[in-house]
Amino acid sequence: MKMRCLDYLALLAAMLVLASPAAASAGEEEGPAGDPGRIWGQIAIIQQQQTAEARQYAARKEQILRSQPPGPQRNLKLRLEYLKYLEESKRLSLQREALRREVISNLKQKWTKIETDWHNECNRHKAALQEIEKLPEGPERRARIERENVHHRSRSQQLAVERNLIHEGVIRQANLDAAGGSPGTSGAIQETCGTKVTDPTYGGMKSDFDGGGGYRTTEKAAKILNEMGVRDSAGGRVQVRAGVLETNPDFGMTINADPGGDRIGSAGHQAHVQQGAHHKETYVSEMVGPAQSNKPLKDYLAVLDHTKKALPGLYENPSALVGDTMEGQAMAKGALKAATQADLPQSTIEAIARKNGIKDPQHLLDRLGEIKSRWSPIESVEEAASLQGAVRDLLSASEAANKAKAAAAVKHTETRIADLEAKGGFQEAQKLRQELADYRTKIKTSNEALTHLEKTLTSGVREPTKTLSTPEQAGSPAGKTTGGLGKGEPLSKPIPKGGSPPVEPEPKAAGGGKLMRGGGLMVSIYGIWEGYETAEKEMAERKQGEPKGLLDWTATQVELAARTFWHGLGFGAMEQLGQQVGREAYEKYLRDIADGKIAKDSLGPYLQMKMQAALKGLYAGVKALTYDAAYNSGTKLGEAIKEGGGLGQDLIKWATDVHGESKVNEERSKQVYDQLIKKGASPVGAQRAADGVKRGDYTEAKRLNKILDGKLFAAQEASKGRSGRDRKKSAMKREAQRQEQTAREGLSEEQLELRETVMGKLRARGLPTGAELVDHLVGLLEKKGLPALEAAIQEMTDMQGVFTGSIGGQGILRIHVQGTRVTGTWNNTKTFTIRFGDKTQTFTATASGVLQGDVELSSGTIAMKMTGVGVSRSDDQSIHQSIPFSGTFSGSFTGKGYKGSSTGTAYGESGSASWSVSR
């Protein structure tokens, strides 16, 4: 059977909405009444339904993928199933939210009564005592006071029991709200300590509830308490501050976001801090611990947190920061917060801005604020490069300022500890020791995390292009460098232990880093040391021939280090390095003898010199790198394998290359010169960079290469193929800029100021600033004045947002107006019957359409196009038909929404209907 097109269009016009807001509201009104216990049962049922719906959707999706061949038909079915799943999920979520609101309303009502009863009881008790105090001193007076106190305590206990039910309700709802999150942050809140409310010694309303749970769950509890009208001790909103939620004494609830933590300084504590420090979204300064109570220490940690946020943007190619980018926004945000945290003087900020070529030095922080809020993104490669330099300097200045304050605070605390212990105040002194231990763990881990992050950012993984490439040197992991220069050095000096990036790059030996940086460097050093030691023993035994393989490891320290990092990180190939370096040492020994540099019997001093060159200051680190040290620092073997896997061969290459580095510097300088010339550098600049490379200094080469890379990358990005929509948007933007430039030509200074005024007001409302629209509004301003302009812009603002309505009085039509762009959807369904002779067949028809269009802000007219598909199914599934359709819409703004007329087309036939939407 085929339905006629007009019949089908008529059917679409009469469809009912699948899940309209009215239906959701009706569901809310029919929510269960009664105590929270019954409502939580209903919420549990909804949770089960949500889980079941997710499984059914996955099964339906899998069925379509198996039964349908790839193509538009399958894609359409998958989309329809997805939309159906979203609608059902929304319906269940609305029901659950309605039940949640009822629970909170119930809890609020009960708490209000308890709070009122308690205040009344306190006032009554106070008045009663005042009356008793008027009696003469004697047994009767004391007896009445005792009876009154007993009565008051009894009432307090009774109200506390009732309040405890409210506490349990808040906790249960918070745990439900946070259910489904990660275990680390959404752990259930549980009572942790304190006297139980059923204990006869419980302090009644003057006591409180102590609990602990995941941070996200604690935040959920704070939200519930605020909805109930509960306040904190200062009368403000309840918040999780420094990992602790605390209400006013009347409600009496304290929740620690990190309960039962490991002892400060223990392996568990270090591991917890390390996890936070390496997570890009975690602020170590906000992690629970004794150091929270010392503001200078917390502020210094916060500056390092902000540095961590900003660091990825500092190592991006400047061209990759242009526009609304995550890295650019994060870089601006981190720098702005660090400067604010350090309270840098305006003179320092302006000096930094001028040094880095910022156009408006006195408003550097305002500019960073614009980028942070995504109001005005980075406009050009030049601005990005200038901001990178300014951010580096801001972070350095902020770190220096707060580091000095933190050092003074540490010294002051140490003095207090000594004074307290001298006076016998060991308990208080121990608290201060815990504060310093917590701080030192966090500051050490934060610095290590920053060093590790910078190493990751400069490892070459983020390299946008590699047009300047010297032969892959062993110095860079997998031969990758940020710009292709040198031996894999970062483009700037790694952040020192103080935690802030330097202003100017300063090259170091490739691979250089801290002791625990993946354990990789120590393994390389160990391989060199073992090779030299083996060579020494072999040459001492035979004085000729090549050394044998590595001797068995018997030293405890070496064995533990090897178990943890050698095998754990897959560095078995270090044996090859040890043999090779030992062989090279022996060959050099023979050449020096032949050249007469040393005598045959002078092996000891010669080898001692060679070993010192490789090991001085590093062998002690190898010995300290034991299994126990790794374990106590929170390092797990599996994590070490994951983190350090693949570094072994790169480090072998690095160590081998460094061994002969002096021989190739001159060759590298020639290659660098040639490559810089190819990339467009001037001969003078390229020669200056090459001379530095010849001396082993890559500073100038990297600086010049970074600038050239930015220009090349921007050119490459511009030349890449783009979608038609991207090309259209770019063309429209260029045309708008051209029109604005044309409109400004020949205007007086006063007229230009009027345009700037209008454009500023449009930007403040998030409206576009096209030349035609600005011309229209400028004319309005000149003719009718500022009130008329404000009214027009307000009307244009009212045109923005989400509007909901229907087509032909049926279905649900949603459109979203943003600027002049309009997008939207239309969804409908209807059940109907068709008679075939003596038989009647029931059908369900569903229609889904997508709309796109534009609105003209000056006139309020709107035009849209819709494409979609209608699907009809018989109840016995014997008939299934899909009909694509399209439609055009025109209309205008009414002040509260939009309305107009539409036409729909399917199979070449058309129908029409009116449409309207409102906010």
Q: Is 158 within a domain?
A: no
| Domain match, 711 and 730 both | no
Q: Are residues 630 and 703 in the same domain?
A: yes
Q: For residues 527 and 576, is the Cβ–Cβ distance under 8 A? A: no
Q: Helix, strand, coil: what percent of the chain each, to 5?
A: 60, 15, 30
- pLDDT above 70 covers a percentage of the chain that reads 63
Residue 166 lies in a domain: no
What is d(CA 569, CA 527) in angstroms, rounded to the nearest whole number?
14
Give the pLDDT score at 824: 92
Only one residue has tokens 């490559």, namely 675
Instruction: Specify whether 686 is located in the same domain as 779.
Output: no
Q: What is the pLDDT of residue 858?
A: 84
Residue-wise pLDDT for 232-273, tens only, equals 888 889 988 756 788 988 998 888 676 444 567 665 567 557
Question: Residue 494: pLDDT above 60?
Answer: no
Token pair belonging to 419 = 């004074």
Cα separation values, 354 from 299, 390, 393, Å: 27, 9, 11
pLDDT, mean over the chain: 70
Residue 297 has pLDDT above 70, yes or no: yes
- Token couple for 9: 């269009």
Query: Which range, 267-276, 551-560, 603-612, 879-888, has the best average confidence (pLDDT)?
Result: 879-888
411 with 534, same domain? no
User: Could you read off the pLDDT of 410-442 as tens digits, one per residue?
Assistant: 999 888 888 888 888 888 888 888 888 888 888
Q: What is the 3-state secondary structure (H, E, C) of 455-507?
A: HHHCCCCCCCCCCCCCCCCCCCHHHCCCCCCCCCCCCCCCCCCCCCCCCCCCC
Determine, yes or no, domain membership for 41.
no
Give the least confident one: 548-562, 671-685, 862-876.
Answer: 548-562
Domain boundary residue, one of 457, 475, 492? 457
Sheet holding 240-241, edge to edge: 190-193, 209-212, 253-256, 244-246, 240-241
Strongest mean pLDDT among 30-39, 495-504, 584-593: 584-593
- Nearest-CA neighbor of 278 among 132, 445, 434, 147? 445
833 and 913 together in one domain: yes
pLDDT at 604: 54
Flag whether 64 is in a domain.
no
**Stronger pLDDT, 163 or 751, i.e. the higher one:** 163
Q: What is the DSSP string of 516-548?
A: TSTTHHHHHHHHHHHHHHHHHHHHHHHSSS---
The answer to whether the Cα torsion of 746, 750, 754, 759 is positive or negative is positive
Rounded to whole angstroms, the Cα distance separating 198 from 569 reads 55
The per-residue pLDDT for 677 is 83
Give the integer Cα–Cα distance in Å for 709 and 679. 8
Range with the lowest mean pLDDT among 35-44, 148-157, 332-341? 35-44
Report the interhelical angle of 72-133 vs 139-178 (nearest 10°). 180
Q: Are residues 693 and 774 in the same domain?
A: no
Please name the residue that has the structure tokens 């966090």: 442
CB contact at 8 A, 536 and 430 = no
Q: Region 547-570: what's the mean pLDDT?
A: 34
Number of domains forming the structure of the chain: 4
749 and 671, same structural domain?
A: no
Domain boundary, last residue among 771, 792, 813: 792
Of 732, 763, 792, the residue at which a domain comes to its end is 792
Instruction: Say whether 334 sits in a helix, a strand or coil.
Output: helix
* Listed ranges 160-174, 270-284, 360-374, 512-526; the one with the highest mean pLDDT: 160-174
Q: Based on the domain organization, do 369 and 278 belong to the same domain?
A: yes
Question: Per residue in 791-833, pLDDT tens?
Answer: 888 888 999 999 999 988 888 999 999 888 999 998 888 776 7
> What pLDDT score was predicted for residue 426?
83
Same domain, 602 and 697: yes
Residue 76 within a domain:
no
Verify that 302 and 423 share a domain, yes or no. Answer: yes
Q: Which residues constitute the domain of residue 741?
A: 724-792
Q: Is residue 279 part of a domain?
A: yes
Q: Return the minimum-mean-pLDDT range out of 170-174, 179-183, 698-702.
A: 179-183
Residue 3 belongs to some domain of the structure:
no
Query: Stretch 172-195: mean pLDDT, rounded?
Result: 75
Residue 601: pLDDT band (50, 70, 90) is low
My answer on whether 595 and 612 are in the same domain is yes
pLDDT band at 484 (very low <50, low <70, confident <90, very high): very low
Q: pLDDT-derived band of residue 114, with 50, 70 and 90 as boundaries?
A: very high
Q: CA separation (Å) from 797 to 759, 892, 899?
A: 14, 15, 17
Q: In this structure, is residue 28 part of a structural domain?
A: no
Query: Which residues have a Cβ under 8 Å from the Cβ of 793 and sit 6 or more positions away?
Result: 761, 762, 765, 767, 777
pLDDT score recorded for residue 184: 62
Please say whether the beta carbons of 111 and 83 come within 8 A: no
Query: Looking at residues 483-490, what average pLDDT do you find?
Result: 32
On whether both 622 and 738 belong to a single domain, the answer is: no
Dist CA 170 CA 104 (whole Å): 8
Task: Decide if 627 contacts 560 (C-beta within 8 A).
Answer: yes
